[in-house]
Structure 1
Amino acid sequence: MELRNLRGLTGVGIVPYDVTGSAPGEHLGLPGTSATLVVDLADGLVLSSGDSPVTTTFRCCIAGIHLRPVTIHHNGVQRGVQLDLSPAAVRALLGMPAGELAGQMVELSQIDTAFARLLHERLAQTPAGERGAVCAAMLAETVSEDTPRSDALSVWEVIARRRGDVTVSELVESSGWSARHLTAMFNAEFGIGPKQAARLTRFETARARLESGHRAVDVAASCGYADQAHMSREFTELTGYSPRALLKRRAEEFA
Structure 2
Amino acid sequence: MELRDLRGLTASAGVSSVVAYDITGALPGTHLGIPSPSVTVVVDLRDGLDLSGPGLSGVTRFRVCLGGLHSTPYVIHHDGTQVGVQIGLSPAGVRRLFGLPVAELSDRAIDLDEVNPTLAGELAGRIADAVPGDRAEAAASTLMGWVDDPGTASGRWAPQPDAAAAWDHIVATGGRCTVAELTERSGWSARYLTTRFVTEYGIGPKHAARLVRFDRAMGALRAGVTIDAAAADAGYADQAHLTREFSEFASMSPARYLAREEFAPA
Taking structure 1 as the reference length, what is the TM-score of the superposition? Answer: 0.92
**How far has the Cα of 1:240 moved from its partner?**
1.0
Indicate yes or no: 2:79 matched with 1:75: yes
- Asked if the contact 1:3–1:9 (Cα under 8 Å) also holds between the matched residues in 2, the reply is no
**How far has the Cα of 1:252 moved from its partner?**
4.5
Q: What stretches of structure 2 of length at least 5 have no aligned partner?
A: none
Indicate yes or no: 2:247 matched with 1:236: yes
Taking the TM superposition and a 5 Å limit, the aligned residue runs for 1:24-43 are 24-43=28-47
Once the two structures are superposed, what CA deviation does each residue of 1:76-95 show, in whole Å capped at 9, x if it has no partner?
A: 12111110100011111111
Aligned residue type for 2:212? T
1:155 to 159, 166, 169: 166
Where does structure 1 differ by over 6 angstroms across 4 or more consecutive aligned residues? none
The corresponding residue for 1:60 is: 64
CA RMSD of aligned residues (A): 2.1
**How far has the Cα of 1:75 moved from its partner?**
0.9
Distance (Å, rounded) in 1 between the aligned partners of 2:130 and 2:224: 36
Distance (Å, rounded) in 1 between the aligned partners of 2:12 and 2:210: 27
Distance (Å, rounded) in 2 between the aligned partners of 1:114 and 1:169: 43
Name the SS for the 2:262 alignment partner: helix
Structure 1 98/58 Cα, relative in aligned 2: closer, same or farther at 3 Å? same
Once the two structures are superposed, what CA deviation does each residue of 1:210-251 show, in whole Å capped at 9, x if it has no partner?
A: 333333333323322232212111111111111111111111
Structure 1 112/56 Cα, relative in aligned 2: closer, same or farther at 3 Å? same
Once the two structures are superposed, what CA deviation does each residue of 1:12-60 show, in whole Å capped at 9, x if it has no partner?
A: 211111122222111100011000000111011000116x882000000
**How far has the Cα of 1:209 moved from its partner?**
1.8
1:198 to 209, 232, 237: 209
Indicate yes or no: 2:175 matched with 1:189: no
1:213 to 218, 224, 231: 224
Distance (Å, rounded) in 2 between the aligned partners of 1:211 and 1:8: 25
**How far has the Cα of 1:167 moved from its partner?**
1.1
How many percent identity over aligned positions?
43
Aligned residue type for 1:96? L
Taking the TM superposition and a 5 Å limit, the aligned residue runs for 1:26-175 are 26-49=30-53, 54-143=58-147, 144=152, 145-146=154-155, 147-151=157-161, 152-175=163-186
The corresponding residue for 1:245 is: 256
Aligned residue type for 2:38? S
Taking structure 2 as the reference length, what is the TM-score of the superposition? Answer: 0.89
Q: What stretches of structure 1 of length at least 5 have no aligned partner?
A: none
Name the SS for the 1:68 alignment partner: coil
**How far has the Cα of 1:179 moved from its partner?**
0.7
Point out the more displaced range, 73-82 or 203-212.
Answer: 203-212
Aligned residue type for 1:207? M
Distance (Å, rounded) in 1 between the aligned partners of 2:139 and 2:43: 10
The corresponding residue for 1:225 is: 236
Distance (Å, rounded) in 1 between the aligned partners of 2:123 and 2:217: 33
